[in-house]
Amino acid sequence: MTNNPFAAPAAPGDGIKWEALTGRLVLVQPRSLEAGITTVYGVTEAVRADVVVLDGPDAGTKHDDTLIFPKVLQSQLKNRIDEKVLGRVSQGQAKPGQSAPWMLTEATEADIKVGVAWLEKTSVTSAKPPF
């Protein structure tokens, strides 16, 4: 067998299922605002980000280099490029004929402790930055 210095391609992602994360504490690091993305609904923009789930049964699940399409969520993140945003996944009020928008609610003191603990743990156990 040949010594292979290359990493295998990552498995394709299917995006974040926001419904499954309702009420969960997440840490999001927006990387960029991407424009001109063609979807089945037309051309749109999205926030490219790294997301990690910090509580619940899927705590520790990472969604690296994922695109965030929900508009309200984008508006909360696009001015926070390269910052760490901590919040709970929730839904706002639906407008007539529309779905309720996905958004982050502000982290509580207890949530902040969980977020800080996760950052401290991952920075100690990994040679790579947590994001």
Instruction: List, for residues 53-82, the tens digit of each pLDDT value.
Output: 999 999 999 999 999 999 999 999 999 999
Sheet holding 102-106, edge to edge: 62-68, 42-53, 25-39, 85-91, 102-106
The H-assigned helical ranges of 66-108 are 71-77
Judge whether 87 and 26 are in contact, CB under 8 Å.
yes
For 12, residues 6+ apart whose C-beta sits below 8 A from its C-beta are none
Specify the pairing of strand 62-68 against strand 85-91. unpaired
Instruction: List, for residues 18-48, the tens digit of each pLDDT value.
Output: 999 999 999 999 999 999 999 888 999 999 9
> In the 8-state DSSP scheme, what is residue 9?
P
**Mean pLDDT, rounded, of the chain:** 90
> Using CA of residue 19, residue 20, residue 24, residue 27, what is the dihedral sign?
negative
